[in-house]
Amino acid sequence: MQTSRTGNFLAALSFLVWGLLPLYYHQLPQADVNELLALRIIFSIPCMLLFMGLLRRPLPPIATILADKRSLIICCLASLLMCVSWYSFIWATTHGEVLAASLGFFINPLISIALGVLFLKEQLSSLQRLAVALAIAGIGYQVYHYGQFPWLSLCMGSFFALYSLCKKHIRYDALTSVTIEAAVLLPFALIFMVWQYVSQQSVALSSGLSTFLFYVGAAPATLVPLIIFALAISRTSLSMVGLMQYIEPSLQFILAVYVFGELFDSVKMISFSLIWIGLLLCSLEAIARPLRRRLRPI
């Protein structure tokens, strides 16, 4: 019971920190997203090694990592998927599109459900089918009125869902896999930053120490909740984690509308409402499922 309570607290804390990340990125308006992502990748390696040292969970020997070639290949794929998802999120939060980021993470669970059907042969319940249909209706309503797809939100939500699907097939522990994912992209990030410096196009390296530290700080700012989440996942149930994940986009939604003053018109209200109803149905089913099993006669 105590372990479960600790896990629930840690899971809630991780989603709380993720939900407040737009406040950090808001300090870098119109940031160079390429450099921000590159520096996040570069400084993720020392941050992860430091975290692993503090948690006394060292990186496995290289031979052990290479022995599981399947996990290594999937790690490489996961790193690319996460790169696209984070690029979309960073662009949204530094260019006044936090509401789009919120929508992306609200529809992410519903995309994950659809991927589960396509790739894991999972069966949808009636409520899950209705939830997916409502999400499609919500997005379709925006397309009908605005004349364009919410590409940013869909890119963020779908690539993170694909990343989560990859993580199901990686046999390394969470900390090792995250470190490998950053290491795969490290050479490209280093080459890019060297090119930016040599060509004198770098914003982070030419805008003063405070700006540089904000760029570098993106690594620990995003890795800290990831580490907390990794600690939580072994201490609580997946159903509780699934319910708590809505803390993140809910906070981002509140920040977008009430702190950053982004437009939330009637079209977005109807679109979000349809998606929220779908998420509510999935949440209620997730709560009711273990209760039905407990009450079922033996």
- The structural domains of the chain, with segments of one domain joined by +, span 2-295
For residue 235, pLDDT beyond 80: no
User: In one letter, which amino acid is 225?
Assistant: P
Instruction: Give me the residue label for tokens 């519903």.
Output: 110
- pLDDT (tens digit per residue) in 20-74: 999 998 888 778 899 999 999 999 999 888 888 887 888 888 888 999 999 999 9
Q: Give how far the C-alpha of residue 263 lies from the chain's centroid of Cα atoms, to the nearest Å.
A: 24
What are 97's two structure tokens?
Answer: 């599109």
In angstroms, how far apart are the furthest CA atoms of the chain?
72
Residues 6+ apart with CB under 8 A from 170: 71, 74, 75, 78, 177
Distance from C-alpha of 47 to C-alpha of 35, rounded to nearest angstrom: 18
For residue 239, pLDDT beyond 60: no
pLDDT value, residue 291: 57
Q: With contact defined as beta carbons under 8 Å apart, do 108 and 179 qualify?
A: no
Q: H helices within 199-246, ranges in order?
A: 209-216, 218-233, 238-244
